Amino acid sequence: MMTGERSLGLLLFEMTFLVLLGPLVTGIIQKIKARIQCRQGAGVLQPYRDLAKLFRKGTVQADTASGLFRLIPVLVLAATVAAGALIPVVRAGPPSFPLGDALLLLGLLALARFLTAVGALDAGGAFGGMGASREMTLAPLVEPVLMMVVFSTAVAAGTTELGALAAQRGTSWVLAWHAADFLGFAAMLVLLPAETGRIPVDNPDTHLELTMLHEGMLLEHSGPGLGCMLLASHTRQIVTLGLVSALFFPIGPANGADAAGLLLGVGAFAAKILVLASYLALVESSYAKLRLFRVPQFLGIGFVCALTALALRIL
């Protein structure tokens, strides 16, 4: 078991790694989806090309938008990337200086969500307002459940700091799974599509008014601003997947100080993310988008699972 602290340099490397890898995960999910649907599909690097194109373009802005609107994409990206710094990637262990825990991570993600909605409302578009109102309706159903899942594992470890929590669980994760972990993980599987904005809760491919939640809020953004928002949602996705792997599969090399350990840690993390991404792609290909009024029922399964996991842990 490793208990070594993670230095500032390692944390910065992990954060950069997450941000750089975010679009690739989206690309892989798109590719798997295309293959399942018997299509060739765009290359896995397509999200990078999209981002590069957007960052070269100029910005068009609605007349009704205030000065805050221009700042929104940068703020959202900053909040999401900051959340990424709290995820242990290469190896477990607490950071060597006080940084923050899973609660701060969820808070930063909630802040990013709030800022996105504010931006959509600020531009004054009808679609943006619609998307924002729907996103804000679903957020209170997702965030508390996510918090309960975190608590249900944190209670056992005695800490909410993700690195320390992962170290606590050790490397033999599947043998160490307590009964509550099964239910917590089941809740997480229900929440993942909601948190990453995918079917059956949201549809990431269209701006149609019937399906849009997250995409509807991005309609008014353009050029580098839209690029920032897209990069933020790629990062949010990989951060959420990273959170799952830190909570439930904290496998990694024992002593990641040297280059070989670092490489092994990166490989293990990539494998875990790939498995979770394939799960998302499979769900997205095999289910239809739920009616908006059915979504609370779907998320209710996650809520009950998370609460039962807590009950198993505490009572």
Closest approach of other proteins to the CB of residue 300, in Å: 4
Q: Name which of 273 and 305 has its Cβ closer to other proteins.
A: 305
282 sits in which H/E element: helix 259-286
Cβ-count burial 70-82 (b if 16+ within 10 Å, e if not)? eebbebbbbbbbb
Q: Name which of 102 and 309 has its Cβ closer to other proteins.
A: 309
Q: Name which of 140 and 296 has its Cβ closer to other proteins.
A: 296
Q: Name which of 116 and 168 has its Cβ closer to other proteins.
A: 168
Closest approach of other proteins to the CB of residue 286, in Å: 13
Q: Name which of 114 and 287 has its Cβ closer to other proteins.
A: 287
**How many CA atoms, within 13 angstroms, populate the side-chain half-sphere of residue 315?**
7
Burial class (CB in 10 A: 0-12, 13-18, 19+), 174: exposed
Closest approach of other proteins to the CB of residue 197, in Å: 22
Q: Name which of 170 and 223 has its Cβ closer to other proteins.
A: 170
Closest approach of other proteins to the CB of residue 255, in Å: 29
Instruction: Output the CA torsion 158→82→189→227 (10° steps).
Output: 180
Closest approach of other proteins to the CB of residue 292, in Å: 14
For Cα atoms 7, 11, 13, give the angle at the middle one, nearest 5 degrees. 115
Instruction: Check if the beta carbon of residue 177 is closer than 8 Å to that of residue 233.
Output: no
Instruction: Check if the beta carbon of residue 162 is closer than 8 Å to that of residue 94.
Output: no
What is the spatial distance between Cα 306 and Cα 220, in angstroms, rounded to a whole number?
A: 36
In the complex, the residues that contact other proteins under the rule CB under 8 A are 177-183, 186, 294, 296-298, 300-301, 303-305, 307-309, 311-312, 315
What is the spatial distance between Cα 11 and Cα 82, in angstroms, rounded to a whole number?
A: 11
Instruction: Output the CA torsion 79→85→89→92 (10° steps).
Output: -130
Q: Name which of 210 and 315 has its Cβ closer to other proteins.
A: 315
Residue 265 has what DSSP assignment? Answer: H
Closest approach of other proteins to the CB of residue 302, in Å: 10
Closest approach of other proteins to the CB of residue 314, in Å: 9
122 sits in which H/E element: helix 102-122
